C-alpha cells in the first residue's frame, strides 16, 4: 500500500481517528482582479449571487423572424447564441424545450449537487429510456438528458477529458475520403479542434500545497486562458484520492503527466468545469449567456419545444431545399404551433437523441422509418438516427475503513454544508488500452474481432437498409479494431467516493462495436422517440467490459487495506461466465450507460452514411446545420463536453465566415448587413443600461 502524504501546513478536517479530508481552497482571484460587471464577465463573481441577469423573453415578445433560429439551449446552442450575437447586426432566437432552471439554480450551481441533489429524474430531465435490451436481460437503460437552459452541462459530472489526437486525426481522414473534401476536413483534425477546445476555457491550476498531497500533474499550456468556461479543481480532496495514480501504477497503468494534450492513456486527476472564484459549476448558461452585457439581438425562449421545420417547395441551384420557418410550442395542449421565419439558417443543437427526431418529423431521414411512421419524406437521408453509440459502464464496489465524501455529506456537520466541501466531485480517472486489459495477450482477441467482420454480421448488426450506412460501419469498425486497439484507450476507469462507507471504481468501454439507432414511429412529434442502442449486440463489447472489471480489481488490490471487502460483484465472482452474468443481469451495478450518446447525425461523407458535411450542413438542405454531439462519427475515449465546446466554437466561426441567405438563395459572407440591423438609438440605450447596471 502506498502511504498518504500529508502536509501539516494544510487545513485538515479530522472526522474520526484518521484524517479523512484534505482541504485546500482553490486559488482566489489575484489582488488586481476587477469586481464583476456585465462588461467584465471574466471577473470574480460572489458565491451568494450567481449571475442570472440575462433577460429572457416570452412567446408574445418573439419577433416574426430571425437570422438564426437555434433548436436547443444546451451546450452548443448557448455557445452559438453567444458567439453569433457578438455581431449586433445579427439576430438570434434560441428555443429551449425545458424551463430556465432559475428555481433549481442552487442545486445546479453546487458541484456536489450533481450527486446529493441531482436534477436527474426531475422535470429538468428528458427522462429518456431505451427499449428493452435483449443482450442485457431485457433491461431498459436510463438515458438522462438535460431539459433546462444549459442542457446536460447543468447536470453532468463536470469531467474535462479531451479525445486523443489519434481519434481527431482519424475523423479528419474519414471526412477527406470517399468523396469528401480534404481542405474542409482539416478543420476537424486534432490541431484545429484543439485550438477551439482551448478557446472555450480559462484554466486555473490547483495550489502547490494541494498538489503536494494529491498527485496532480499540471501543464497549463495544454489549456485555454481566456475562455468563458472556467476549468479548475475542487477546493478539497478526499485522502483516498491521494493514492489513485500510485494504485494505477501498481496495476500496470502508468501515470499520464500531460492529460488533455492529445494523449489520454494512463492515470491522472482530471480538471473539472468548476469556477474557482466561487466554487460553483461552470456550464454553458453562466459561462456564455448570463455573463454577457445586454444584447437586444439575442432572444431566448424557454419551455418552447421545436417540433419541425418547413421547406420551400422549390430547391436552390445546388438542388438543396431551403428552410423557411420553424414550428414550436410550449406543450401538446397548445392548439396551434407558433411559427417563426428564418432569414438565414436553422441550427439543430438539440443533442444526439433529439436532433434526429426533429429531422425526421420534418421529413428528412431514412425512407423506411418515415414511411412506417406515416411521415411524408422530403429528403431521403439514411444516416439520420443511425450510428447511435454510448459508453457502457459497471463498477466494482468495496467497503472502506476510511470516511468518504458520502460519509461527510451524511454527517450533517457544518463542514458538510460548506461551499468548500460541496465543490468536491469525483475526478480520478485512468484510460487503458487493449494491451493492459489483456496483459499483453490481446493479439488473438484482436484477430477474432477483425475476422468477424463480414456482410452477414453487418446486416445483422446495422439496423439500416442503406449500403452507405453499412459502408461507414465497416470502415469505422476496422479503424477501431486496428488503429485504435492499442494506440487509444479501450476502457476508462473512474473512482467514486460519493457513497457512504464504500469506494467504487467503474470500468467504461470507450469504443463499442455495437451500434443502434434513434427513430420515430408516429406522425405526432409529441410522441416519444424510440431509443435502441443495441447494447452488447457485438460480442466483443462484453469481453472488453469484463476485462475492464478485472483491471479494476488489480487497481483495488494495489490500494491495499484502504479498501476492505468487495461488495459487488463479490469475491466469489471470479470466472468469466460469472462476471458476464453480473454485467448482463444486475440492474443496479451491471452494465449501464455512462450517458454519452453520440453519432446519430454523423459528420461523414454521404457515401459513408453521413448526415452533415464538414461545414456542418445537412446533406440535401441549403440552410440547416447540426451542431451537437450527434455529429461525432464514433465514440471518443473521453468525456464529451470539451469536444462539444470545441465543435460549437468552430461552428460559430464557420457560420460567421459564410452563411446562407434565404432571400438571395445563396451563401454569402455573414458580415453582410442583416435584415435585423440594430438602430443607433438601440445601441445607445443598451450602453446606458449597461452603465446603470440594469
Which residue positions form the known binding site for FAD? 306, 629
Which are the contacts of 101, defined by CB distance < 8 A and separation ≥ 6? 108, 124, 148, 149, 150, 154, 285
Length, in residues, of the chain = 694
SS (H, E, C) 510-574: CCCCCCEEEECCCCCCCCCCEEECCCCCCHHHHHHHHHHHHHHHHHHHHHHHHCCCEEECCCCCC
CA atoms within 13 A on the CB side of 298: 24
Q: Cβ of 341: how many Cβ atoms within 10 Å?
A: 15
User: Cell 431505451 sits at which residue?
Assistant: 130
Which are the contacts of 650, defined by CB distance < 8 A and separation ≥ 6? 187, 192, 193, 196
Residue 494: burial class (beta carbons within 10 Å; 0-12, 13-18, 19+): buried
| Cell matching residue 239 | 485522502
| Cell matching residue 377 | 419524406
Which are the contacts of 538, defined by CB distance < 8 A and separation ≥ 6? 461, 512, 513, 514
Which are the contacts of 638, defined by CB distance < 8 A and separation ≥ 6? 161, 162, 163, 164, 167, 264, 510
Is the separation of the CB atoms in 237 and 424 below 8 Å? yes
Q: What is the spatial distance between Cα 144 and Cα 593, in angstroms, rounded to a whole number?
A: 10
Which are the contacts of 20, defined by CB distance < 8 A and separation ≥ 6? 13, 14, 238, 239, 402, 403, 407, 408
Which are the contacts of 570, defined by CB distance < 8 A and separation ≥ 6? none
Q: What is the spatial distance between Cα 360 and Cα 525, in angstroms, rounded to a whole number?
A: 9
Is the separation of the CB atoms in 419 and 112 below 8 Å? no
The region, left, alpha or beta by phi > 0 then psi within -120 to 50, assigned to residue 673 is beta
| Cell matching residue 152 | 446536460
Q: What is the spatial distance between Cα 429 and Cα 508, in angstroms, rounded to a whole number?
A: 11
Which residues carry a binding-site annotation?
Answer: 306, 629
User: Cell 480534404 sits at which residue?
Assistant: 182
Q: What is the spatial distance between Cα 256 and Cα 171, in angstroms, rounded to a whole number?
A: 24
Q: What is the spatial distance between Cα 641 and Cα 159, in angstroms, rounded to a whole number?
A: 8
How many H helices and E strands in the chain? 22, 30
Q: What is the spatial distance between Cα 445 and Cα 453, in angstroms, rounded to a whole number?
A: 13
Rg of the chain's alpha carbons, rounded to an integer?
A: 25
What are the backbone dihedrals phi and psi of residue 656, each rounded to the nearest 5 degrees, phi first? -60, -35
Active centre residues (catalytic) = 596, 639
Q: What is the spatial distance between Cα 95 and Cα 70, in angstroms, rounded to a whole number?
A: 6
User: Cell 491550476 sits at which residue?
Assistant: 205
| Cell matching residue 175 | 471526412
Residue 222: burial class (beta carbons within 10 Å; 0-12, 13-18, 19+): middle
The region, left, alpha or beta by phi > 0 then psi within -120 to 50, assigned to residue 43 is beta
Q: Cβ of 50: how many Cβ atoms within 10 Å?
A: 20
Is the separation of the CB atoms in 156 and 114 below 8 Å? yes
Q: Cβ of 509: how many Cβ atoms within 10 Å?
A: 30
599 three-class SS: coil
| Cell matching residue 424 | 468536491
Amino acid at each position: 500500500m502506498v502511504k498518504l502524504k500529508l502536509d501539516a501546513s494544510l487545513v485538515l478536517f479530522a472526522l474520526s481517528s484518521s484524517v479523512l479530508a484534505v482541504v485546500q481552497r482553490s486559488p482566489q482571484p489575484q489582488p488586481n482582479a476587477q469586481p464583476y460587471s456585465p462588461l467584465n464577465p471574466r471577473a470574480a463573481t460572489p458565491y451568494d449571487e450567481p449571475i442570472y441577469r440575462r433577460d429572457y423573453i416570452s412567446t408574445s415578445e418573439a419577433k416574426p423572424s430571425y437570422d438564426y433560429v437555434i433548436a436547443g439551449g444546451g451546450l452548443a446552442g448557448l455557445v452559438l447564441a453567444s458567439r453569433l450575437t457578438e455581431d449586433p447586426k445579427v439576430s438570434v432566437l434560441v428555443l429551449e424545450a425545458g424551463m430556465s432552471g432559475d428555481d433549481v439554480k442552487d442545486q445546479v450551481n453546487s458541484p456536489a449537487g450533481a450527486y446529493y441533489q441531482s436534477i436527474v429524474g426531475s422535470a429538468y430531465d428528458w427522462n429518456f429510456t431505451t427499449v428493452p435490451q435483449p443482450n442485457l436481460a431485457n433491461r431498459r437503460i436510463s438515458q438522462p438528458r438535460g431539459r433546462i437552459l444549459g442542457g446536460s452541462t447543468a447536470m453532468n459530472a463536470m469531467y474535462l477529458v479531451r479525445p486523443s489526437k489519434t481519434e481527431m486525426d482519424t475523423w479528419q481522414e474519414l471526412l477527406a475520403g470517399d468523396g469528401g473534401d480534404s481542405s474542409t476536413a482539416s478543420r476537424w483534425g486534432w490541431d484545429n479542434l484543439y485550438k477551439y477546445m482551448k478557446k472555450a476555457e480559462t484554466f486555473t491550476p490547483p495550489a502547490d500545497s494541494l498538489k503536494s498531497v494529491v498527485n496532480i500533474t499540471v501543464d497549463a499550456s495544454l489549456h485555454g486562458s481566456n475562455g468563458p468556461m472556467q476549468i479548475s479543481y475542487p477546493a478539497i480532496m478526499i485522502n483516498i484520492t491521494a493514492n489513485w495514480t500510485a494504485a494505477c501504477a501498481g496495476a500496470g497503468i502508468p501515470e499520464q503527466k500531460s492529460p488533455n494534450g492529445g494523449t489520454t492513456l494512463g492515470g491522472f486527476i482530471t480538471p473539472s468545469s468548476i469556477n474557482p472564484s466561487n466554487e460553483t459549476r461552470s456550464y454553458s448558461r453562466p459561462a456564455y449567456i448570463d455573463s454577457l452585457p445586454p444584447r437586444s439581438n439575442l432572444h431566448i425562449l424557454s419551455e418552447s419545444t421545436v417540433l419541425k421545420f418547413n421547406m420551400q417547395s422549390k430547391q436552390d441551384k445546388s438542388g438543396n431545399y431551403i428552410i423557411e420557418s420553424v414550428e414550436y410550442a410550449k406543450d401538446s395542449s397548445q392548439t396551434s404551433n407558433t411559427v417563426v421565419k428564418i432569414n438565414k439558417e436553422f441550427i439543430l443543437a438539440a443533442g444526439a437523441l433529439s436532433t434526429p427526431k426533429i429531422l425526421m418529423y420534418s421529413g428528412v431521414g431514412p425512407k423506411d422509418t418515415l414511411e412506417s411512421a406515416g411521415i411524408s419524406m422530403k429528403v431521403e437521408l439514411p444516416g439520420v438516427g443511425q450510428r447511435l453509440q454510448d459508453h457502457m459502464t459497471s463498477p466494482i464496489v468495496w467497503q472502506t475503513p476510511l470516511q468518504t465524501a458520502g460519509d461527510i455529506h451524511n454527517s450533517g456537520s457544518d463542514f458538510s454544508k460548506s461551499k468548500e466541501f460541496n465543490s468536491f466531485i469525483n475526478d480520478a480517472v485512468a484510460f487503458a488500452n487493449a494491451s493492459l486489459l489483456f496483459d499483453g495477450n490481446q493479439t488473438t482477441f484482436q484477430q477474432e474481432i477483425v475476422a468477424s467482420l463480414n456482410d452477414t454480421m453487418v446486416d445483422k448488426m446495422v439496423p439500416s437498409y442503406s449500403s452507405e450506412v453499412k459502408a461507414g460501419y465497416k470502415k469505422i469498425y476496422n479503424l477501431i479494431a486496428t488503429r485504435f486497439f492499442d494506440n487509444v484507450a479501450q476502457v476508462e476507469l473512474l473512482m467514486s467516493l460519493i457513497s457512504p462507507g464504500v469506494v467504487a471504481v467503474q470500468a467504461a468501454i470507450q469504443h463499442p462495436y455495437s451500434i443502434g439507432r434513434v427513430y420515430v414511429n408516429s406522425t405526432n412529434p409529441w410522441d416519444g422517440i424510440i431509443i435502441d442502442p443495441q447494447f452488447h449486440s457485438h460480442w466483443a463489447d462484453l469481453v472488453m467490459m469484463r476485462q475492464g472489471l478485472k483491471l479494476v480489481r488489480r487497481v483495488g488490490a494495489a490500494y491495499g487495506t484502504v479498501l476492505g471487502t468487495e461488495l459487488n460483484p463479490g469475491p466469489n465472482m471470479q470466472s468469466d461466465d460469472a462476471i458476464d452474468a453480473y454485467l448482463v443481469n444486475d440492474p443496479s451495478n451491471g452494465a449501464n450507460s455512462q450517458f454519452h450518446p453520440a453519432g446519430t447525425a454523423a459528420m461523414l461523407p454521404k457515401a459513408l452514411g453521413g448526415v452533415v458535411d464538414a461545414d456542418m450542413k445537412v446533406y440535401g438542405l441549403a440552410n440547416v446545420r447540426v451542431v451537437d454531439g450527434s455529429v461525432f462519427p464514433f465514440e471518443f475515449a473521453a468525456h464529451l463536453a470539451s469536444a462539444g465546446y470545441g465543435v460549437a466554437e468552430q461552428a460559430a466561426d464557420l457560420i460567421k465566415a459564410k452563411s446562407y441567405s434565404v432571400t438571395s438563395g445563396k451563401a454569402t459572407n455573414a458580415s453582410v448587413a442583416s435584415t435585423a440591423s440594430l438602430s443607433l438609438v438601440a445601441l445607445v440605450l443598451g450602453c446606458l443600461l449597461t452603465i446603470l447596471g440594469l
